[in-house]
Amino acid sequence: MTDVKTYLREWAMPHVLCPGCAHGIVLRSFLNAVDQLQIDQDKLAMVAGIGCSSRLVGYVDFCTLHGTHGRAPAFATGLKLARPDLKVVVVTGDGDALAIGGNHLIHAARRNIDITVLLLNNSIYGMTGGQAAPTTPEGALASTTPAGNTEPNFDACKLLMGAGASFVARVLAANPMDMTKVMADGLDHPGFSFIEVISDCPEYFGRYNKVGGGAEMLTWMSVRDEGVAGPLAEKRFVNHIPIESVPSGMETGVLQREIRPVYAGVRKVEDHES
Amino acid sequence: MSEGSQGLLLAGVGGQGVILASMIVADALMRAGHDVKQSEVHGMAQRGGSVFSHIRWGERVDSPLVPLGSAEVLAAFEWAEAVRWVEYVRDGGAVVADVRTIVPPGACNDHRSWLRRYPGIDGELFDSRHLKTRLIDATATAEELGNVRAANSVILGTVAAFIDIDNKHWEAAIAHLVPKGTEEINLAAFRIGRDVAEARVPQTAPDPEGFSGPHQIEINHVWCKGCDICSRVCPEYCLAVDVDGKLTIIDAEACTGCKLCEALCPDFAIEISAPREPAVVGNQAAADGSTL
User: What is the band of B1 on the pLDDT scale with cuts at 50, 70, 90?
Assistant: very low
Q: Which helix (H) or strand (E) holds B270?
A: strand B270-273
Q: Which of B218, B221, B230, B232 has the most A C-beta neighbours within 10 Å, making it the best mutation to test the interface with A?
A: B232
CB-CB: which of A14, A17, A214 is closest to B229? A214
Pairing of strands A193-198, B6-13: unpaired
Contact partners, residue A239, CB within 8 Å, separation at least 6: none
Domain ranges of chain A: 18-211+250-257
**Distance in Å, alpha carbon of A208 to nearest chain B alpha carbon:** 18
Look at B67 and B235; give whichever has higher pLDDT. Answer: B67
What pLDDT does B114 receive?
43
- CB spacing of B228 vs A213 below 8 angstroms: yes
- pLDDT digits (tens), chain A, 274 positions: 678 889 999 999 889 999 999 999 999 999 999 999 999 999 999 999 999 999 999 999 999 999 999 999 999 999 999 999 999 999 999 999 999 999 999 999 999 999 999 999 998 999 898 999 998 887 888 899 888 888 888 888 999 999 999 999 998 888 888 899 999 999 999 999 999 998 989 989 888 888 888 888 888 777 665 544 444 444 433 334 444 444 445 778 888 899 988 887 645 445 555 4
Write down the pLDDT at residue A236: 36
Structural domains in chain B, CATH included, are 6-195 (3.40.920.10), 216-272 (3.30.70.20)
Determine the average pLDDT of the residues in B134-150: 86
Q: Give the pLDDT confidence score for residue B242 in this predicted structure.
A: 86
User: For the segment B89-128, what is each residue's pLDDT rounded down to a tens digit?
Assistant: 998 888 898 887 776 655 544 444 444 456 666 666 677 7
Q: How far is B171 from chain A (nearest CA, A)?
A: 46
Average pLDDT of the segment spanning B5-9: 91
Q: In this complex, do A25 and B265 lie within 8 Å of one another by their Cβ atoms?
A: yes
Confirm or reject contact between A24 and chain B (CB < 8 A).
yes
- Nearest CB among B225, B264, B268 relative to A19 is that of B225
Q: If pLDDT is split at 50, 70 and 90, which confidence band does B5 have?
A: confident
Report, as an integer, the average pLDDT of B11-29: 90
A15 close to B (CB below 8 A) = yes
Which A-chain residues 199-218 have CB contacts (< 8 A) with chain B? 202, 213-215, 218
Are residues A13 and B223, on separate chains, in Cβ contact within 8 Å?
A: yes
Q: What are phi and psi of A178, to 5 degrees?
A: -60, -40
Q: How far apart are CA A123 and CA A137, in angstroms?
A: 7
B266 contacts in A (CB within 8 Å)? 17, 20-25, 28, 214
Q: Quick one: CATH architecture of A18-211+250-257? A: 3-Layer(aba) Sandwich (3.40)
- Give the amino acid at B222: V
Lowest mean pLDDT segment, chosen from A137-141, B65-69, B175-179: A137-141
Percentage of chain B with pLDDT > 90? 27
How buried is B173 (Cβ within 10 angstroms: 0-12 exposed, 13-18 middle, 19+ buried)? buried
pLDDT band of residue B212 (cuts 50, 70, 90) is low
Closest CA to B120 of B224, B202, B186, B192: B202
The average confidence (pLDDT) of chain B is 80
Contacts of B269 in chain A (CB under 8 A): 14
Rounded to 5°, the CA angle B139-B142-B143 comes to 85
Q: Is A70 on the interface with B (CB under 8 A)?
A: no
Share of chain B above pLDDT 70, in %: 77
Indicate the burial class of A210 (C-beta count within 10 angstroms; 0-12, 13-18, 19 or more).
exposed
Q: Determine the pLDDT at residue A245.
A: 41
Phi–psi pair at A167, nearest 5 degrees: -135, 120
Quote the pLDDT of residue B91: 87
pLDDT in tens, A221-272: 776 655 444 444 444 333 344 444 444 457 788 888 999 888 876 454 455 5
The residues, ordered by sequence, that sit 6+ positions from B150 with a Cβ below 8 Å of its Cβ are B142, B182, B185, B186, B188, B189
Q: CB-based contact (8 Å) between A31 and chain B?
A: no
Task: Tell me how far apart the alpha carbons of residues A46 and A183 are, in angstroms, rounded to a whole number.
Answer: 14
Number of Cα atoms under 13 Å in the Cβ half of residue A112: 20
Is pLDDT at B75 greater than 90 in this prediction?
yes
* C-beta atoms of A20 and B265 within 8 A: no
